[in-house]
Copies of this chain bind each other. A is one copy, B any other.
Amino acid sequence: MGRERGRGAPAAHVVCSGDELALGRIANTNAAWLSRRLSDLGFDVRRHVVVPDHLEPLAAEIRAAARAARLVILSGGLGPTVDDLTREAAARAAGRRLVRSAAALAAIRRFFARRGRPMPENNARQADLPAGAVLLRNPVGTAPGFALAVGRAFVAALPGVPAELRPMFDSRVVPLLRRRFPRRPAVAATELDTIGLPESEVDRRLAGIASPDGNPRLSLMVRDAIVTARFFARGRTGAEARRVLRSALGPARRVLGAHVFGHDGMDVSDAVAALLLERRLTLSVAESCTGGLIGHLLTRVPGISAALVEDVVTYANEAKVKRLGVSAALIRRRGAVSAEVAAAMAEGSQRASGADASLAVTGIAGPGGGTAAKPVGLVYVAARFRGATTVREFRLPGDRAMVQARAARLALDHLRRRIMGG
């Protein structure tokens, strides 16, 4: 950020309010998401602040942020209850009154009307905005956002629910920022999402291509067996920034090869879904230790119904036998967590579904169920495609949730490589 700052990137602060944040019930994913977006837009994110739901402290934070930064994004506190105080705190910080916005009220009434429900009276409070604020419509929920000037700063307030904050920032705030901040430094950023290599190996392979304090700037992020390499380029013009970025991406893709499954924070499930839809392939899944996570990840993708025939979570051995035709003798002989049973699950799944491809997972997620021979974290994934079944074994670290999360991604990646012919 030192460099970006040198280039005159406007300073931005993120102020999030909510007892659930201040008390640590939830981690501040909004600040993280907003910071990535703001940085990609050429802002210099200098500070996140979290405060509980109290009027004066929140108003004081907004004032302080508006003195220190040219852009302040607020999240949370726009709900209908008495501890939703962002509207009033922002009004105090700006020295404005609250006035009920007819447009905001109409939007809230429409929200309830669409659901055939009367609007509870206290939801009307959500339409009280600081005088002179610009209404930011909420396409998803009831809480309208707003933007207003506080001193020399531009302040935008968004709801705390990520599924509402994200589309509102992209559709309502970004256009305003482009107009209000025409002279941001030219930047260009891309992320390459990889799976199958440890972070240290990704780092080693990219060493000659980009570095943490070069241009482009390299940073690595790790989640659920996925290593994402972020390239952040700066230039005098957008064209120059994009040229700097391209000059690194080509070599990076070459050294990372088939381990790259996507870009800009995709999940392996997104890549597999896109691959299936693009090639018009159908898939059936058989899960054991991942318990439905693979189906859940794939069905986050709109339109996946064209590809996903079924996902059978055969948690009990009888279900493996009855639903997938796995031989009970095989389970007795090899154990439910074995390469042979994984293969039989994939084959049984494809036989029953008639899908073009099938994917199966069996393993020990823990904390119980491990043995010396078959420890917690032992996972077998099997993919069947074009008449051939391939099985991979993994020994995954971490607790039950981590083993399930990684097993699901590594299983999807195994299928991805089979379909790509890798």
Given contacts A83-B220, A212-B82, A399-B140, contact A292 B302 (CB under 8 A): no
* Chain copies in the assembled complex: 2
Q: B163 touching A265 by the CB < 8 A rule?
A: no
Complex alpha-carbon distance, A22 and B35, angstroms: 7
Q: B203 touching A163 by the CB < 8 A rule?
A: no
Closest CB in chain B relative to A188 CB, distance in Å? 14
CB contact between A79 and one of B115, B199, B212, B294 (< 8 Å): that residue: B199
Given contacts A24-B36, A28-B31, A219-B23, contact A50 B53 (CB under 8 A): no
Beta-carbon nearest neighbor of A336 in chain B: B305
Contacts of A254 in B (CB 8 A): none
Q: Does A353 contact B (CB under 8 A)?
A: yes
Complex alpha-carbon distance, A305 and B115, angstroms: 38
Q: A120 touching B200 by the CB < 8 A rule?
A: yes
Stretch in A148-156, A312-320, A327-335 touching the partner: A312-320
Contacts of A395 in B (CB 8 A): 115-116
Interface of A is mostly: mixed
Complex alpha-carbon distance, A303 and B25, angstroms: 25
CB contact list, A27-57 vs B, under 8 A: 27-29, 31-37, 39, 45-54, 57
Q: B50 touching A219 by the CB < 8 A rule?
A: no
Closest CB in chain B relative to A8 CB, distance in Å? 16
Q: B28 touching A48 by the CB < 8 A rule?
A: yes
The digit string for A65-83, where 1 denotes a CB below 8 A from any CB of B, is 0000000000000011111
Q: B198 touching A25 by the CB < 8 A rule?
A: no
Q: A25 touching B221 by the CB < 8 A rule?
A: yes
Contacts of A398 in B (CB 8 A): 140-141, 163
Beta-carbon nearest neighbor of A313 in chain B: B311
Beta-carbon nearest neighbor of A308 in chain B: B315
Beta-carbon nearest neighbor of A219 in chain B: B19
Closest CB in chain B relative to A196 CB, distance in Å? 14
Q: B310 touching A323 by the CB < 8 A rule?
A: yes
Beta-carbon nearest neighbor of A5 in chain B: B54
Beta-carbon nearest neighbor of A160 in chain B: B222
The digit string for A322-344, where 1 denotes a CB below 8 A from any CB of B, is 11000000000000000000000
Beta-carbon nearest neighbor of A202 in chain B: B81
Q: Does A298 contact B (CB under 8 A)?
A: yes
Contacts of A221 in B (CB 8 A): 18-20, 25-26
Complex alpha-carbon distance, A256 and B221, angstroms: 43
Q: Does A401 contact B (CB under 8 A)?
A: yes
Q: A314 touching B319 by the CB < 8 A rule?
A: no
Q: B46 touching A31 by the CB < 8 A rule?
A: no
Q: A122 touching B20 by the CB < 8 A rule?
A: no
Given contacts A309-B315, A309-B316, 6 further A-B contacts (CB under 8 A): A46-B52, A48-B48, A48-B50, A53-B219, A291-B311, A296-B296
A residues neighboring B (CB under 8 Å):
1-2, 18-29, 31-37, 39, 45-54, 57, 61, 79-83, 111, 115-116, 120, 122-123, 140-141, 161, 163, 167, 198-201, 203-204, 211-212, 219-223, 228, 230, 265, 285, 287, 289-296, 298-300, 302-305, 308-316, 318-319, 322-323, 352-353, 365-368, 395, 397-402, 404
